[in-house]
Chains A and B, each alone.
Chain A
Amino acid sequence: MKKIEAIIKPFKLDDAKEGLAKAGIQGLTVSEVKGFGRQKGHTELYRGAEYVVDFLPKLKLEIVVADDQAEKVVVALQEACQTGKIGDGKIFVLPVEDAVRIRTGEHGDAAVDAG
């Protein structure tokens, strides 16, 4: 199994979800995160003075799938979340040792299988 972690622009969530659904992916976990990459922070203003916000709001998507599905997910996310501008985010693919579906106790691929 593989876990795909994607850091994306917050307004791209719906596109990402649709892209994943088209690729046959049924579940994902989303969290609100903050960070920066090459985009760095941005400047904000308050009562006449400028300040730099170092950590920008992003969303982190986490999807765990069988090994043969991983590439499909990565492609779907990359296409859905791309604007072409700096700050689009990153996708990471990690190995996963095991997974358990809490309801049934199934292990491995069966636990993450959409069907």
Chain B
Amino acid sequence: MLRTRFLAALSVVASASLAAPSLALADEISPALFTANNVWMMLAAALVFVMHLGFAMVESGLTRAKNTTNILFKNTFIICAGILTYFIVGFNLMYPGDFGGFLGFAGFGLSAGFAEGANTPGYAGGGYTYWTDFLFQAMFAATAATIVSGAVAERIKLGSFMIFSAIFVALVYPIAGSWKWGGGFLDAAGFYDFAGSTLVHSVGGWGALMGAMILGPRLGKYAKDGRLMPIPGSSMPLTTVGVFLLWLGWFGFNGGSVLSADPTLTSFTLVTTCLAAASGGIGAMIAYAFVSSKPDLSMALNGILAGLVGITAGADVINPNMAILVGMIAGMLVVGSVLLFDKIKIDDPVGAISVHLTCGIWGTLAVGLFSTNPEHSLLTQAYGVLCYGLFTVVCASAIFLTLKATLGLRVTEEEELEGLDLSEHGMHAYDLAGSPGFMEDGPPGFRATGALAASKLAPSEN
């Protein structure tokens, strides 16, 4: 079973003058090269995994301390649910082999990994084994759902979010992904998305937009007269740690999307990725200077992510000079986009819609403008953006609206004011009362109720 994504990468290697084709036919791949390729792909999977820590830190940092446990719980659930649902259905929905181009399914689980040749160079041109393939793609899948988490933070019901993200990562992301990376109709149409500006980031971004719109803004974000009231995040250091971890993870996200350790193409991709990240940060700083005389760290950090998302669609086909431009424009776009969404009362606490949707679309279109491959066209790229937008908007809003009508989507006003840590978890993220040591009767100011945690927690009693 050959991955068309791999074939696409190969054809780029062959056609782009900047990369010398080092991967030829599978039977020419030596065991040593196969091992080296596979090691890089496993490392790339591990780097993409680190991005989930990055998301968790960014989201914790840009929201209030009374919702931190809730944010972290959602991130914890997504990576667990994402990997498991990708095992059950996702992988085989996204890469169904030969299919009609819209929807295919190659069966449950990973039994194909035991088939003859699934872990030989013949499987994917010597790039990686079946098992590595699953691992790398599973890490990607959870990313799309995590993007939604930030935009709906501080007000969504935990249970409803868990149901949404499980469906989103199990069905919506892989079906959409199959259209391009699985060899579906958009792949046939010549649409290009190297590592997922659209397939991962825009898909997550559209979900985030639908979630934020259907939920409405957080209490206190807009005054009665409609004035914007900022809700500052709880920790700039955590936000910074998160963004730097995401940047680190992107070495695997884009570098692994070469689908081998091809020396030229992999290093080229890492260079364009880093250039775009750096110019994204600078772009956001410049753009924000037109808004305020005092630089905003959170915007500069959003700019880095914007640059990364922007270059992701074309990291292997956009030259360094143009990669800087793509990142710079993405960094400027993200500032304008954050201010615009604030203005039209779509409340996105972490800027996820601006980073992943706005810049995901920009990056996808940028392939049409700057690709070194003459077969890539702006029109086809726009067609792809449109198809993914329509599908994800319909799916995400259907799930969100169904949940709203049944379980309810938003916590009560009282719970939101108290914070989701207490109302949803009965637990603080930070021990504000100090850290008491062991005492026979419990620490001062606390009293044991004698009840097990399974009994209903009544947080207001504390």
- Determine whether the beta carbon of A45 is less than 8 Å from that of B229: no
Q: Judge if A11 is at the interface, Cβ distance under 8 Å.
A: no
Measured between beta carbons, the chain B residues less than 8 angstroms from A51 are 229-230, 232
* Residue pair A48, B342 in contact (C-beta under 8 Å): yes
Query: Is the C-beta of A47 less than 8 angstroms from some C-beta in chain B?
Result: yes
B294 cross-chain contacts in A, Cβ below 8 A: 45
B299 interface residue (CB < 8 Å to A) = yes
Q: Are A48 and B229 in contact (CB under 8 A)?
A: no
Task: Indicate whether B15 reaches chain A with its CB closer than 8 angstroms.
Answer: no
Q: How far is the CB of B320 from chain A (nearest CB, A)?
A: 31
B460: interface (CB < 8 Å): no
Report yes or no: B229 in contact with A47, Cβ–Cβ below 8 A.
no
Interfacial chain A residues near B351, Cβ < 8 Å: 47
The chain A residue with its CB closest to the CB of B233 is: A46
A86, CB-defined interface residue at 8 Å: no
Once the chains are docked, how many angstroms separate the CA of A47 from the CA of B284? 11
Q: Tell me if B339 is interfacial: C-beta within 8 Å of chain A.
A: yes
A40-52 interface bits toward B, Cβ cutoff 8 Å, 1 = contact, 0 = none: 0000111111110
B277-293: which have CB < 8 Å to A?
288, 291-292
Tell yes or no: B219 within 8 A of A by CB.
no
A44: chain B residues within 8 A (beta carbon)? 232
Interface residues in B282-336 (C-beta closer than 8 Å to A) = 288, 291-292, 294, 296, 298-299, 335
CA A79 to CA B291, docked complex, whole Å = 42
A48 to B298, CA, bound (A): 10
B234-266 with Cβ < 8 A to chain A: none
A46→B342 contact, CB < 8 A: no
**For chain B, what secondary structure do more than half of its interface residues adopt (helix, strand, loop), or is it mixed?**
loop
Question: Which of B4-38 touch A at CB < 8 Å?
Answer: none
Cβ contacts under 8 Å, B339 to chain A: 48
Tell me the chain A residues, 29-59 only, with Cβ under 8 Å from chain B.
44-51
Most chain B Cβ neighbours within 10 Å, of A44, A46, A50? A46
Nearest chain A CB to B217 CB, angstrom units: 13
Q: Complex Cα distance A26/B312, Å?
A: 63
Label chain A's interface by main secondary structure.
Answer: strand
- CB A43 to nearest CB in B, in angstroms, measures 10
**Chain A interfacial residues counted at CB < 8 A:** 8
Asked if B189 is at the interface (CB within 8 A of a chain A CB), the reply is no
Contact A48 B292 (CB under 8 A): yes
Q: How far is the CB of A51 from chain B (nearest CB, A)?
A: 5
Q: Which residues of B contact A45 (CB under 8 A)?
A: 230, 292, 294, 296
Q: Are A46 and B296 in contact (CB under 8 A)?
A: yes
**Interface assignment of B1: CB less than 8 Å from any CB of chain A:** no
Report how far A47 CA is from B292 CA in the complex, Å: 9
Which of B230, B294, B338 has the largest count of A CB atoms less than 10 A from its CB?
B230
Cα of A51 to Cα of B292 in the assembled complex, Å? 13
Contact B228 A49 (CB under 8 A): yes
Q: Closest Cβ of chain B: how far from A55's Cβ, in Å? A: 14
Nearest A residue to B288 via CB reads A48
Which residues of B have CB within 8 Å of A47?
230, 296, 298-299, 338, 342, 351
Min CB gap A77→B, angstroms: 29
Tell me which of B230, B233, B288, B335 contacts A49 (CB under 8 A).
Answer: B230
A48–B338 CB distance below 8 A? yes
Chain B nearest Cβ from A48, distance in angstroms: 5
- For residue B349, which residue of chain A has the nearest CB? A47
Q: Bound state CA distance, A51 and B230, in angstroms?
A: 7
Q: How far is the CB of B287 from chain A (nearest CB, A)?
A: 10
Instruction: Tell me if A46 and B288 are in contact (CB < 8 A).
Output: no
Q: Which residues on the A side are within 8 Å of B288 (C-beta)?
A: 48
Give complex CA distance A45, B232 in Å: 9
A46–B342 alpha-carbon span in the complex (Å): 12
Min CB distance B336 to A, Å, is: 10
Nearest CB in chain A: distance from B226 CB, A: 13
Which single residue of chain A is at the shortest CB-CB distance from B338? A47
Inter-subunit contact A48/B291 (CB<8 Å): yes
Docked Cα-Cα span, A46 to B233, in Å, equals 9
Nearest-CB distance from A44 to chain B (Å)? Answer: 8
Set of chain A residues within 8 Å of B229, measured between Cβ atoms? 49, 51
- In the complex, 24 of the A-B residue pairs with CB atoms within 8 angstroms, ordered by the A residue number, are A44-B232, A45-B296, A46-B231, A46-B232, A46-B296, A46-B298, A47-B296, A47-B298, A47-B299, A47-B338, A47-B342, A48-B288, A48-B291, A48-B292, A48-B296, A48-B299, A48-B335, A48-B338, A48-B339, A48-B342, A49-B228, A49-B229, A49-B342, A51-B230
Binding site for B on A (CB under 8 A): 44-51
Using A46-B232, A47-B296, A49-B342 as known contacts, list a sample of 11 further A-B pairs with CB atoms less than 8 Å apart, ordered by residue number in A. Answer: A44-B232, A45-B230, A45-B296, A46-B233, A47-B298, A47-B342, A48-B291, A48-B292, A48-B296, A48-B339, A51-B230
Across the A-B interface, give the 9 residue pairs with the lowest CB-CB distance, nearest first: A46-B230, A49-B230, A46-B232, A49-B228, A48-B339, A51-B230, A48-B291, A45-B294, A47-B298
Binding site for A on B (CB under 8 A): 228-233, 288, 291-292, 294, 296, 298-299, 335, 338-339, 342, 351
